[in-house]
Structure 1
Amino acid sequence: MAASSLPPLADILPPLVLGGGGFSYQLISDPQSIPISDVIKSAFEAGIRAIDTSPYYEPSEQLLGKALSQPEIANHYSRSEHVLMTKVGRITADKSDYSATWVRQSVNRSLERLGATYLDVVFCHDIEFVTDEETIEAVGELLEFVRNGKVRYIGLSSYFIPLLSRRANMVRERFGRPVDVIQTWSHMSLQSSRLETEGLKAFNEAGVSCVLNASPLAIGLLRAGRVPQGRLGDFHPAPAGLRKAAQDAGAYVSRQGDNLAALALRYAVWRSVACSNGSVRVCTITGISSIADLTENVEAVQKVLLSTDDTSRRLSSSCTINQTQVEKDLPLFQKVQEILGGWVNYSLINPEVG
């Protein structure tokens, strides 16, 4: 399909996206043990027909490709019925390569791993680790893939909102077109509202009409218990004080008969839909590592969103906010942020990059 004939990405994404980071060594000691085919099949049945991953989330791409090729998925869902998103540039925790040569190699490898003839979206991954010109070089190479039909949409990803805004404007100036989508993480959550208060206006001014809010739980911070640890150990950037405040918030929510992880996801999805309008749409990426995770996530989102189809509870872009649930949740949202106190809008990664 020619790029000029593609619908806006914002029109085809569901409100909730399956995050492939949940199938990585960063978060799970043994991702090969996850029944990924079952997770994907159940996600697709629930309307979550978009997947975001990265080569950096080793071995997520390989596991996803194997799962998507299984008959119970491949025979029931054509390639056009789901959105595949991956990334280029970030290789390991301390190595990035944004050269045109590596971008070509990485995209072709992702196509092979995922068993796909095209990728819906490819992001430049964690642009804070490279220079402006390196980002521009990578985008230029991705646009070659767009021209030959192997990639449909391109995007930028980073934690840092000012940096994303500035480089999105650079891309628009250099190539005469904006990036299709921006992905940032943890900034539309109970811990940070900076995507809502700072990011959306800046991104929209750069011509971006689709924004993905990843890590609505702040990489597992906003849940009962400790942050997740995989084979690579404790990599979470939150300092001890913030971790303690999050644990206190989790204990409080549990005493009220609720679950902080579910509450945090309801908050993020509520704000993402509430902030979406005719010029920009926000979708939420959530990491899932088991059927239990998926069930909990779907149930949480189904509480805060209403399907416009009375015969189905599937999540879709046409879902609307359940104001009754939001009003019920508001006191808990406010109390959690009160417990977090001065840690609200604290930058998880310092110093800020812009």
Structure 2
Amino acid sequence: MAEVRVNLADHSYTIHIQAAGLGQVGQLMKDMPFSRRALIVTDENVNSLYSGALVDSLITAGFTPSVLVVEPGESSKSLATADKVFTKAISLGLDRKSPIIALGGGVIGDLAGFIAATYLRGVPFIQVPTTLLAQVDSSVGGKTAVNHPLGKNLIGAFYQPQLVVIDPLVLDTLPERELKAGLAEVVKYGVIADPGFFAYLTRHVDSILVRNPAVLTEVISRCCQLKAEVVAQDERETSVRMILNFGHTIGHAVEGVGGYSEYNHGEAVAIGMHGAALLSSSLNLCSLAECTAVKQLINAMGLPLTAPGYGTDELLGYLARDKKVVDSKVNWVLMQDIGRVTITQDVSEEHVRAVLSQLTENQ
């Protein structure tokens, strides 16, 4: 078992990374100051695989859990779905110490976290992520949100979980496409903060893709450590935490243009990281060799590099509505070296258009 501490003063918490950890959630919650009634939010896919084990764990620890199942996919990150969860919470009589537990991927974590942050002005929140993307990124750090038709993650709050339990064994049932989607966020950590980790990923691509448990545990632990360090410095994304958005600016635009259905989040971030690397190189912030190294690792992980046929003007429209825009200027996260990035608004539309054209031309 590995543990990573997220140090945030009076709302610090621990990430537990443990094989078969799903069956330990109730025991880990048992001595925390929670009411016994709990609500698990999950989706149809995860419910059939893992809700039973989590429910049994909670019952054994003395809790009375209920399960709310929503449709899988980005469409559930909506105010309409949130209303269904609020209605369930109210009908169950959940009080201010009743934990809400997210069992699923990033969509479920964001949705359940948004509910926990706003129901009764805040109730305990537990993350039990079941996708690689959620385990290495979205379950840690307290970002919660739902989408709006005009943009992704525009309605939300910073709200930290009180506990994160990561069971690497659940990745055995993860579809190949979803595993690769999580690898986009994994690559991101190497690019923004740790050249040694980037080199480790480059050496272990094959082991990662065949889901070697020891390698995956090492990958998950390192990603959680890196994110915990960043979040501890800047919980509410006013400065250094912005580096975690590497690849996400263009990535969110790609998701939006595709109606949040053609490319999943990880695939879009992979395209966005390629775009950010190209933009960094074109601005002479990093070398062409480093740009190429990032491109090669993304490709080796089986992720897309381009979005052929997408419209440059459409993508620019989404960039203008990105939540990181301040005074009509995008905060770009760009490479200086592998392991070091910078945040800048000094990027011309001409440079952005040129990169978007490279990303969208038919190959």
TM class, shorter-length: 0.3 to 0.5
Q: TM-score, normalised by structure 2?
A: 0.34
The structure whose residues are more often helix, as a share, is 2
* Higher RCO (CA < 8 A, seq sep 6+): 1
TM-score normalised by the chain length of structure 1: 0.35
